[in-house]
Amino acid sequence: VTERYLILGAALFAIGLYGMIARRNLLIVLMSLELMLNAVNLTFVAYARQLGNLDGHVFFLMVMAVAAAEIAVGLSIVIAIFRLKRSVDTAEMSELKG
């Protein structure tokens, strides 16, 4: 019964991966990242239930805290980039290209 939760997590992870690779809007890339983190969290919880061990739940909380911090910093980077370039298109951020 646990396998279907794992499959659901894998499906959401794959969808998030597609969003990260194929989209150029920085905000949607960040949203896809959140989706991937959530997919992994679901896998943690499914395995915690399967093994009867609460370590997975603690990891869920840690990942959630890191995700919240990451989104706060990521969105302020988005604001800084938007002020600089008037755009959030990832393909236009090529200053580091040699």
Partner 1 sequence: MGELVFWTCAGVAIASALMVVTRRNPMYAAFYLVVAFLALAASLVPLDATFLAVMHLLVYTGAIMVLFLFIIMLLNLGTVEGDHEYPFRFRLFAALLSAAIFALFAYAFGRSPLGPPPSVPEEFGRVEGVGSHLFRAFVLPFELVSALILAAIFGTVVLARRKERIES
Q: Which residues bind partner 1 (CB under 8 A)?
A: 1-8, 10-19, 21-25, 27-28, 30-32, 34-35, 38, 41-42, 45-46, 48-52, 54-55, 57-58, 60-62, 64-73, 75-80, 82-83, 87-89, 91
Q: Which is nearer to partner 1, 52 or 98 (CB)?
A: 52
Q: Which is nearer to partner 1, 7 or 96 (CB)?
A: 7
Burial class (CB in 10 A: 0-12, 13-18, 19+), 66: exposed
Which amino acid appears at position 47 of this protein? Y
Least Å distance between CB 51 and partner 1? 8
* Alpha helical stretches, state H, 1-98: 2-22, 26-51, 55-85
Backbone angles phi, psi at 87, to 5 degrees: -160, 155
Q: Which is nearer to partner 1, 22 or 96 (CB)?
A: 22
